[in-house]
Amino acid sequence: MLTPPMALERLDAALAAARAAGADAADALYMGDGSTSVSVRLGALEDIGRSEGEEVGIRVFVGQRSASVSSSDLSPAALIEAATRAVDMARLAPEDKWAGLAPEDRLMRGAIPELDVHDPAEPLAQSLKDRALAAEDAARAVPGVTNSEGGGAAAGLVVMALATSTGFRGGKIGSSHGTSASVVAGNGSDMQRDYAYHSTRYLADLEDPAEIGVRAGQRAIARLSPIKLATGTMPVVFDPRVSGSLIGHLMGAITGSAITRGTSFLMDALGKAIFDSGVTMIDDPLRLRGLRSRAFDGEGLPTARTAIIDKGVLTTWLLDSANARQLGLAPTGHAARGTSGPPGASASNLHMEPGTDTPAALMADIKDGLYVTELIGMGVNGLTGDYSRGASGFRIENGEITGAVAEITIAGNLKDMFARMTPANDLRFRHATNVPTLRIDAMTIAGS
Mean pLDDT computed over 400-413: 96
Q: Which of 278, 218, 4, 30 is nearest to 118 (CA)?
A: 4
pLDDT at 378: 85
Mean pLDDT computed over 205-219: 98
Q: How many C-beta atoms surround the C-beta of residue 84 within 10 A?
A: 19
In the chain, domain spans: 4-221, 226-448
pLDDT at 62: 97
Report which DSSP code applies to 380.
B
CA distance 125 to 127: 5
Mean pLDDT computed over 242-261: 96
Q: What is the CATH number of domain 4-221?
A: 3.30.2290.10
pLDDT at 91: 97
Mean pLDDT computed over 423-429: 98
Whether pLDDT at 448 is above 80: no
Mean pLDDT computed over 250-265: 97
Q: Which of 194, 191, 156 is nearest to 177 (CA)?
A: 156
pLDDT at 341: 86
CB 357 within 8 A of CB 384: no
Mean pLDDT computed over 261-282: 97
Secondary structure of residue 360 in the 3-state scheme: helix
Q: Which of 374, 7, 314, 371 is nearest to 182 (CA)?
A: 374
Q: How many C-beta atoms surround the C-beta of residue 281 within 10 A?
A: 24
Whether pLDDT at 165 is above 80: yes
Kindly give, in sequence order, each residue whose CB lies less than 8 Å from that of residue 194, ignoring residues fewer than 6 positions away.
182, 183, 185, 216, 219, 220, 222, 223
pLDDT per residue as tens digits for the range 1-30: 899 999 999 999 999 999 999 999 999 999
CB 99 within 8 A of CB 66: yes
Whether pLDDT at 345 is above 90: yes
Whether pLDDT at 445 is above 80: yes
Mean pLDDT across the chain:
96
Whether pLDDT at 40 is above 80: yes
